[in-house]
Amino acid sequence: MELTVGAVLEGKVKSITNFGAFVSLPENKTGLVHISEVSNTYVSDIRQHLTEEQDVKVMVIGMENGKINLSIKRLEAKPQSRPAPTVQNRAPRTAPTPPPAPKTADQLFEEKLKAFMSESDSKISSIRQYSDHRTKSRRR
């Protein structure tokens, strides 16, 4: 059987690490279910969701450099989101605002120059305050 992205397979969890679980697949192949692909909810400890030797159904989500990336959560039903607001509660729709026009090279340069000058002025004023403080303390 040729593994392809999107294929759904049965496998057995062989080992668990902090970053995911290695799953034994048909034809003596092994794939990794990354911790972010275990559940639709946040997973802080993968061992609370999987155990070694557990049979699992997985989906192949990627194959790179001989490595097989798997997912369990993509086979789960997605959690229900909040219900859509009723017509009574819905805010009136407004026309979407167009994205701002891209800035020209001159505008980008001016912004960078202003930021540099502001930072430079700030540094100079702190140096002046420091040197004023030192000269006043020497006069006494």
pLDDT digits (tens, 9 = 90+) for 9-19: 999 999 999 99
Q: Which residues pair with 67 in a beta bridge?
A: 64
Give me the half-sphere count of Cα atoms (radius 13 Å) on the Cβ side of residue 114: 6
Nearest Cα to Cα of residue 12 among 73, 47, 46, 53: 53
Rounded CA gap, 75 and 109, in Å? 50
Asked if pLDDT for residue 62 goes beyond 80, the answer is yes
Rounded CA gap, 66 and 49, in Å? 26
Burial of residue 35 (number of CB atoms within 10 Å: 0-12, 13-18, 19+): buried
Confidence of residue 124 (pLDDT cuts 50, 70, 90): confident
pLDDT digits (tens, 9 = 90+) for 70-116: 999 998 877 666 666 555 656 666 777 777 777 788 888 888 899 88
**Model confidence, pTM:** 0.55
Average pLDDT over residues 125-135: 72
Confidence of residue 23 (pLDDT cuts 50, 70, 90): very high
